[in-house]
Amino acid sequence: MQEFASKKIKSLWLDKFNYIVVENANEKILETIKYVINSLWFIPSNIIIYEDRPKFFIEFQKIIENFLWTQVDIMQVEMDWNKWYKKIEKITWL
């Protein structure tokens, strides 16, 4: 899955940004928090998440924001057969 995920990220031209590849989608939240704390060594005022299946980020957005004292923007990426994207749209709360 690592190779597949990396190719998908490169096809979206997102490989210039930091990214995390995990085995299971539910691991993304913890790995994101660990990355911010252990690798960045600072907490950005805003974290932008690009995700084609944002379920877990939507579910845990407020927890991440409260824990890290940051704003999290979730960008849903609609894929075109994993070759390219159809659209990228910010998920907003009503």
Q: Is the pLDDT of residue 58 over 50?
A: yes
For residue 35, what are the domain limits? 2-90
Higher pLDDT, 56 or 87: 56
Higher pLDDT, 94 or 23: 23
In whole angstroms, give the CA distance from residue 81 to residue 94.
30
Provide the number of structural domains found in the chain.
1
**What pLDDT does 81 receive?**
62
In whole angstroms, give the CA distance from residue 85 to residue 52.
9
Region 45-64: what's the mean pLDDT? 91
Average model confidence (pLDDT) across the chain: 84
Which pTM does this prediction carry?
A: 0.75
Q: Is the pLDDT of residue 32 over 70?
A: yes
